[in-house]
Amino acid sequence: MQVRIYHNPRCSKSRQALQLLLDRGIEPQVIEYLKTPPTHEELARILRLLDMQPRDLIRKKEAEYREAALDNPDLSNDALIEVMVRFPKLIERPIVVVANKAVLGRPPERVLELIAQ
């Protein structure tokens, strides 16, 4: 089973989700998305796998959210995805992807649902 985690090592929830995987003998591909942001296409695919809209995956308390006026309801999904690609700090984390399924690890135990399937 190939498992990818979009990870921020400074985030306690992200560290906990990674540890849950490691504790179960799963060595995921760790993508530090702040250093290596997903492309527009990758993020759009992740959103489809999560069954989420871009607004659902945006961290609304970040300064970049306010500065870019991302609460504007007229912004398209593509525009929101593009902003998240440019400012990956806005992407909620951690995200774990296994094949054609994904889960947002909030709370971190949600990753267990994905690997149990």
Residue 45 CA to residue 17 CA, distance in Å, equals: 21
Task: Report CA torsion sign: 20, 21, 27, 31.
Answer: negative
55-to-27, 48, 58, 91 alpha-carbon distances in Å: 30, 13, 5, 10
Residues recognised as catalytic: 11
Phi, psi of 100 (to 5 degrees): -105, 30
